[in-house]
Amino acid sequence: MSSQSSHNYSEDAIKTLDWKEHIRRRPGMYIGKLGDGTYADDGIYVLLKEVMDNSIDEFMMGNGKKIDVKLSDGRVSIRDYGRGIPLGKVIDVASKMNTGAKYDSKAFKKSVGLNGVGIKAVNALSNEFIVKAYRDGQVKHVDFCAGEIVTDHEIAPTEEANGTYVEFLADNTIFGDYHYQEEYIETLLKNYTYLNTGLIINFNGKAYQSKKGLFDLLKDNLTIPELYPIIHLVGEDIEIAFTHGNQYGEEYYTFVNGQHTTQGGTHLVAFREAFVKTIRDFYNKNFDVSDIRTGIVAAVSVKVEEPVFESQTKTKLGSKEMGPNGQTVRQFVLDFVTEKLDNFLHKNLETADALNRKILESEKERKAISGIQKLARERAKKVSLHNKKLRDCRIHYTSKDEMKLESSIFITEGDSASGSITKARNVNTQAVFSLKGKPLNTFGLTRKVVYENEEFNLLQAALDIEESLETLRYNHVIIATDADVDGMHIRLLLITFFLQFFPELVKNGHLYILQTPLFRVRNKKKTLYCYSDEERVAAIKELGVKPEITRFKGLGEISPDEFKHFINKDMRLEPVRMKKDHSINQLLDFYMGKNTPDRQNFIIDNLVIEEDLVNESL
């Protein structure tokens, strides 16, 4: 009886939500995770992308050659010069679900946004949403707030060129204290230009344009010297560019209909298969798969009719069909690569020889460490049964659970720090791996060291990235060390390890530094945690005369109860990023190599002596 009374399942319990209320209550269904802008896949960037996709579709249809994007104080505006939304349908397009022109496959044959949801989600999740449609000397202007019409302006004459203008300010009651990282936006916009040669995107006054498509993408993103000139293959509805470098792992940039599929999908699987098959056939040798693909850097773009993605955020292609003839994506990519790449290698024997040398070098190294690998795998497998270094979580990145994007692993220094984090963590999504002392400096060493060094071997096994990054068990790999000289050194050693052997983990945005407070400032009524001297000074002024000030010397000094404040959903993470002008070899050689005099001079020239501000502030 108590069960029936507490769960009264009647007609009154059945509710139908208004479209905007449904989006605001369940935003994750439409834009993935919310986030505050720290990560490239946070919701505020998805909002921008949803509006951009409509403008890109106009360009693909041959309407408009440029798009203007502006960002100021969290407010985003996008102006294209396409045909403009039909004036009588502006409100419907912005606020009526399942409304749009993209259901007509003849008009938008290979568009990304096929479900008529994107721009409505942006509208519903914005404090302010403005849309203006310019067509044939007239403009239709509508203002919204959280999906509700605020002002419906009458159609008026205009001298503006045809096109659509959208401006929005994301709702901070949903996204919290968010902030845009311009670097993420620049990457997003550059990718649009690589995939749409001839398009000009102006972002806050800076113009982006590409003439060679994916060739330019690789050139702009390579952080290692290429071993042979980039191979660029272009066909109808498909474009591929790739080269090899002296690095470990595989690095891919994949796209479907202009959408960056960061998690790959059927088109990437097909390319990797086709590449191996073509290489084996061309050289008439049954090379090992890892020898062929290790060190590859590739970009793959395909256009698919009515693509099926595995989520609304479209990060992984699930389509199997290419079009009405029933040809699969796999077969389409396989046919293209086997024909075009084979022809290219026959016509460019110097490049073919360089590629062959790279494969043979990888084969030689693999065979040299194969025995060590086998022993290391067995050791890691045995240890994993009762691995005291790893306190695992329940949900992993490779699982199908909705929380997989939140899965994290903290790489900590020593038992005291790992103990505090272990007691404070979320056991569902946060794992802890404990290091024993300072790890080895791996710069200049071969992969053999990964298997011979117990710490690195067990760390690799915990992450499950030996074969491929696709099996990575945690979305966020977080280095959590003390904020002192030793802690900084350990950070550098770990970053060196990942850049040396798993650079794609860094480039794909999985590696972070945990920021923990340097000071605790408190009185009887309030406690403030400070991450810098500036924050400490501000906290002292806020709390008044002579508050208690504690300087945290290490993570082990922070109690588990306090640690909960620093590793919750609002934890401060600093992404480890790679830029075009960051050469991995040059960076590691300078900071971790044996160029002692140069490094000493750099330290001396950049030394900053901080004054003790405590007495000044009291």
Residue 74: pLDDT above 60? Answer: yes
Is residue 382 situated within a structural domain? Answer: no
> In 3D, which of 342, 249, 237, 247 has the Cα closest to residue 300?
237
Residue 8: pLDDT above 70? Answer: no
> Could you tell me if 491 and 479 are in contact, meaning their C-beta atoms sit under 8 angstroms apart?
yes
178 and 235 both lie in a single domain: no
CA 312/CA 117 separation, integer angstroms: 9
pLDDT (tens digit, 9 = 90+) per residue, 497-538?
988 888 888 888 899 998 888 888 998 889 888 888 888 999
Lowest-confidence region among 72-76, 366-370, 474-478: 366-370
231 and 300 both lie in a single domain: yes
574 contacts: CB under 8 Å, gap ≥ 6: 512, 513, 515
DSSP-derived secondary structure letter, 15: -
pLDDT band for 106, please (50, 70, 90 cuts). very low
Mean pLDDT (whole number) for 247-252? 84
108 and 157 both lie in a single domain: yes
Is residue 534 situated within a structural domain? Answer: no
What values do phi and psi take at 473, rounded to 5? Answer: -90, -10
Is residue 598 situated within a structural domain? Answer: no
Is residue 617 situated within a structural domain? Answer: no
Residue 492: pLDDT above 70? Answer: yes
356 and 393 both lie in a single domain: no
Check which CATH number belongs to the domain holding 38 and give it.
3.30.565.10
191 and 250 both lie in a single domain: no
Residue-level pLDDT at 579 = 64
pLDDT band for 256, please (50, 70, 90 cuts). confident
Mean pLDDT (whole number) for 547-571? 82
Helices (H), 284-348: 289-293, 329-347
Residue-level pLDDT at 589 = 64
CA 417/CA 482 separation, integer angstroms: 9
Residue-level pLDDT at 586 = 64
CA 506/CA 300 separation, integer angstroms: 20
> What pTM was computed for the model?
0.75
Residue-level pLDDT at 160 = 94
What's the chain's average pLDDT?
82
The one-letter amino acid code at 74 reads G
Characterize the bridge pairing of strands 238-244 and 251-256: unpaired
Residue-number span of the structural domain to which 319 is assigned: 214-365
Given 164, 189, 208, the domain boundary residue is 208
Residue-level pLDDT at 117 = 65
> In 3D, which of 570, 567, 555 has the Cα closest to residue 425?
567
pLDDT band for 388, please (50, 70, 90 cuts). low
Strand segments, DSSP code E, in 6-83 are 66-72, 75-80
417 and 557 both lie in a single domain: yes
Mean pLDDT (whole number) for 467-486? 84
> Could you tell me if 194 and 188 are in contact, meaning their C-beta atoms sit under 8 angstroms apart?
no
Residue in the structure block whose two tokens are 């290219």: 344
Residue-level pLDDT at 321 = 59
> Could you tell me if 490 and 481 are in contact, meaning their C-beta atoms sit under 8 angstroms apart?
yes
pLDDT band for 443, please (50, 70, 90 cuts). confident
CA 200/CA 61 separation, integer angstroms: 15
pLDDT (tens digit, 9 = 90+) per residue, 149-180?
999 999 999 999 999 999 999 999 888 889 99
Is residue 601 situated within a structural domain? Answer: no
292 and 404 both lie in a single domain: no
Query: Which of 129-143, 256-270, 562-576 reaches the highest mean pLDDT?
Result: 129-143
Query: Which of 10-14, 167-171, 363-367, 598-602 reaches the highest mean pLDDT?
Result: 167-171
DSSP-derived secondary structure letter, 403: G
Task: State percent of the chain over pLDDT 70.
Answer: 80
Is residue 521 situated within a structural domain? Answer: no
Is residue 545 situated within a structural domain? Answer: no
Residue-level pLDDT at 391 = 87
Residue 435's Cβ-count burial label (10 Å; 0-12, 13-18, 19+) is buried
Residue-level pLDDT at 616 = 42
Distances (CA, A) of 72 to 50, 75, 182, 235, 324: 19, 5, 11, 39, 45
Residue-level pLDDT at 618 = 43
What values do phi and psi take at 528, rounded to 5? Answer: -120, 135
409 and 314 both lie in a single domain: no
Lowest-confidence region among 197-201, 256-260, 390-394, 532-536: 256-260
CA 299/CA 271 separation, integer angstroms: 10
Strand partners, 226: 245
Residue-level pLDDT at 80 = 95
132 and 246 both lie in a single domain: no
pLDDT (tens digit, 9 = 90+) per residue, 306-321?
666 665 555 666 666 5
Given 365, 398, 428, the domain boundary residue is 365
357 and 430 both lie in a single domain: no
Distances (CA, A) of 165 to 67, 81, 144, 569, 605: 10, 9, 14, 34, 49
pLDDT (tens digit, 9 = 90+) per residue, 187-239?
999 999 999 999 999 999 899 999 999 999 999 888 788 999 999 999 988 99
Lowest-confidence region among 335-339, 384-388, 565-569: 384-388
Given 165, 180, 208, the domain boundary residue is 208
429 and 473 both lie in a single domain: yes
What values do phi and psi take at 127, rounded to 5? Answer: -65, -40
Is residue 511 situated within a structural domain? Answer: yes
Distances (CA, A) of 93 to 78, 85, 90, 132, 279: 16, 8, 5, 12, 49
Check which CATH number belongs to the domain holding 252 and give it.
3.30.230.10
Mean pLDDT (whole number) for 414-435? 84
> Could you tell me if 102 and 94 are in contact, meaning their C-beta atoms sit under 8 angstroms apart?
no
Residue 70: pLDDT above 90? Answer: yes
Lowest-confidence region among 183-197, 260-274, 492-506, 583-597: 583-597
Mean pLDDT (whole number) for 363-369? 84
Residue-level pLDDT at 308 = 67
Residue 598: pLDDT above 60? Answer: yes
Count of Cβ atoms closer than 10 Å to residue 260 Cβ: 20
494 and 561 both lie in a single domain: yes
pLDDT band for 401, please (50, 70, 90 cuts). low
Mean pLDDT (whole number) for 54-60? 88
CA 176/CA 77 separation, integer angstroms: 20
- Counting the structural domains of the chain, the total is 3
Residue 40: pLDDT above 70? Answer: yes
Residue-level pLDDT at 380 = 60
pLDDT (tens digit, 9 = 90+) per residue, 480-490?
888 777 888 88
